Structure 1
Amino acid sequence: MKKFKHVWLAALLMASTFGFTACDDDDDKGNDASSSNPAIEVVAKAKKHDTAILLCTFGSTFKESIKTYDNILADYEDAFPDADVYLSFTSRTCVNRVYAETGIDRFPPDLWLQALGSANYKKVAVQSLHIIPGEEFLSLMNTDVKKEFMIKQFPHIQVAKSPCLVYNEDDVQAVSEVLYDHYKDNLADKKQIVLLMGHGNPDKNYNANSKYTEVEEAMQALATNKNVFVGTVDYGDMLFWPLDKDEQPLPTPNAESVYSKLTKYCEDNNLQPSDITISLAPFMSIAGDHAHNDLWGIEDGDDFSAATPGADACWRLKLLKMGFKISTVESHNGSVDKCTINGLGDYPSIRKIWVNHLKDIYNDADEWQTGEDYQ
């Protein structure tokens, strides 16, 4: 974990070069913080301790995600009884929609942090619930936390930054072992494949995309048949089928694409797609929009006639078009439209890895810094 602190200077430059584009935000906070920031009143009422933990994730508008987030919150509250725990959405679109539909206040990180500072917390730990150390992670830690909160607004407050799920080699191995253990019965059969969908950063400058490959390789090292693959919904080289700069399907798929990996697996094992059943799952914190629409296409029905590998269709229909069978073992009565999709945050063992990230630094005085340290 010591190595974690040394990447911040380089990462800050990167974060300032590539703008954060999670949503269209209105950053005008006005002059009266108490009236323009509703999080201030929420924190003032909830404050019980001198230490706060702010969990930060992109967010989701799916109601199914509420249970996942509640479980994550409960894990941190149990592990850190001396701290007040809050959950933030970096997507303001998700913040607004969730509040409109459920009445739950999530708030973006900048509002939570301003409220925590105004409530006179002495220490604030920021825990990333992102999967890889990509654009959103860097923007959170270097802009919202370091630049705005620590240096500009509250330089006297001690802050600890806890990394995302898959940050280093130990994380790759730990996450891979959890997923392998979950799917080991499937992976023992050469005629079954586990296919995971990560989000990915579209810009190749974010080396964080390599974490997907590292997880795939680590899981293949555990699975004798090497029948597990990771693709992404937003990173060019690891899409189902690669696209050109105008987002049109290329004539030839690259080796890292999902299509190429599956095709090569069939060739290497002398199998036809019709011989193989694929288990689909998101490699994301929660099963939200991408999992339900881009991966499973819950509302797309079963007509895969037009779902060629390069078409604008969900992965499930593309796989059916290629001839693969899709496992619905984890669904209710085998019905795709009632399928229960699990995100990584639904695995207690995965959540424990996140919690342990913060445990590793929580009682280490050297891991807590103030804005004055940077000045």
Structure 2
Amino acid sequence: MSTNAKKAILAVSFGTSHEDTRKVTIDAIEQDIQAAFPDYALYRAWTSKMIIRKLKSRDNIHVNTVKEAMEQMRADGITDILIQPTHVINGIENDLMKEDALAYRDDFHSISFGDPLLTTEQDSLDVIRAVAEEFSDLKSDEALVLMGHGTTHYANAIYAALDYTFKDKGYPNIFLGTVEAYPSMETLMKMVRNYQPKKVILAPFMIVAGDHAKNDMAGDDPQSWYSQFKAAGFSTETVIKGLGEYPGIRKIFVDHLRAIQ
């Protein structure tokens, strides 16, 4: 790399309109990245146009799209970019993000992509360890039920695979489902009933604890996971904590960047 190279990292997240969770998840991941790569300029982009619009109209805060961030880096004279998504899986958001960034490939010396959270088998094991550490006081008569987002993209299969791997690695009482795909709430309910725990603990399996965590998971609506488990007779507790708050999860993103440095 020539001496006049200017290196940058672009941290790409789906985004959130909830400031409370953003500070302890997306911001925390970016702080860990900056600490690990002090020689790189750090830029942020979000992939949810809806959330970007909401922040602009509600708080007058502007967050760059991937395209805007690429243009900003070009204007700033950046030559080499490492792009690290904080996406959980290699789904639709990640595919579109790569497409948007690669439209600028001729403007930079190099553009490299770090993997999303769940990409390799080792990632799955590292994620399981991070979750198990976070819930180290989980008792055998309790069930931890994690709510993933889910997607129509074929990458959704990782959720069922990870649920299976939790069991395989000695955590028969950790269950992973999704709001919008498979494994669904119905599937989880059957599995949890079979386990017969005294108590169910619900936590989001998403980087931020935003709308899905606060409403679909922990809300008072009869359709929320909390309401459904309570209605099924389980003592139920919710933990509103995004994956971005887990030190072990943030470390995986930093490791994914190191792999492409």
The answer to whether the superposition gives a TM-score over 0.5 is: yes
Q: Secondary structure at the match of 1:234?
A: coil
State how far apart, in whole Å, the 2-side matches of 1:99 and 1:355 are.
Answer: 29
Kindly provide the amino acid, as one letter, of the partner of residue 296 in structure 1: A
Question: Counterpart in 1 of 2:70?
Answer: 113
State how far apart, in whole Å, the 2-side matches of 1:87 and 1:343 are.
Answer: 19
Which of 178, 185, 189 matches 1:259?
189
Pairs within 5 Å for 1:1-375: 50-67=6-23, 68-141=25-98, 143-146=99-102, 148-150=103-105, 154=107, 156-186=108-138, 188-189=139-140, 191-201=141-151, 203=152, 206-223=153-170, 226-235=172-181, 237-241=182-186, 257-266=187-196, 276-297=198-219, 300=220, 307=222, 313-327=223-237, 341-362=240-261
Q: Secondary structure at the match of 1:231?
A: strand
Q: CA deviation at 1:264?
A: 2.8
Percent of aligned positions that are identical: 29
8 A contact 1:216–1:229 mirrored in 2: yes
Q: CA deviation at 1:98?
A: 2.0
Runs ≥4 residues deviating over 3 A: 99-104
8 A contact 1:55–1:87 mirrored in 2: yes
State how far apart, in whole Å, the 1-side matches of 2:243 and 2:160 are.
Answer: 17
State how far apart, in whole Å, the 2-side matches of 1:349 and 1:214 are.
Answer: 20
State how far apart, in whole Å, the 2-side matches of 1:65 and 1:314 are.
Answer: 20
**Number of aligned residue pairs:** 256
8 A contact 1:172–1:214 mirrored in 2: no
Q: Which runs of 5+ in 2 are unaligned?
A: none
State how far apart, in whole Å, the 1-side matches of 2:135 and 2:168 are.
Answer: 14
8 A contact 2:202–2:217 mirrored in 1: yes
8 A contact 2:8–2:42 mirrored in 1: yes
Kindly provide the amino acid, as one letter, of the partner of residue 101 in structure 2: V
Q: CA deviation at 1:349?
A: 1.5
Q: CA deviation at 1:119?
A: 2.2
TM-score normalized with structure 1 length: 0.65
Q: Secondary structure at the match of 1:327?
A: strand
Question: Counterpart in 2 of 1:26?
Answer: none
Identify the structure with the greater strand proportion: 2
Q: Secondary structure at the match of 1:361?
A: coil
State how far apart, in whole Å, the 1-side matches of 2:12 and 2:74 are.
Answer: 16
Q: Which runs of 5+ in 1 are unaligned?
A: 1-48, 242-256, 267-274, 302-306, 308-312, 331-340, 363-375
8 A contact 1:180–1:222 mirrored in 2: no
Q: CA deviation at 1:183?
A: 1.8
State how far apart, in whole Å, the 2-side matches of 1:262 and 1:200 are.
Answer: 19
Q: CA deviation at 1:127?
A: 0.6
State how far apart, in whole Å, the 2-side matches of 1:102 and 1:349 are.
Answer: 32
Kindly provide the amino acid, as one letter, of the partner of residue 234 in structure 1: E
Superposition RMSD on alpha carbons, in Å? 1.8
8 A contact 1:177–1:219 mirrored in 2: no
Q: CA deviation at 1:217?
A: 2.2
Tell me which of the two structures has the higher relative contact order, counting C-alpha pairs closer than 8 angstroms and 6 or more residues apart: 2
8 A contact 1:294–1:315 mirrored in 2: yes
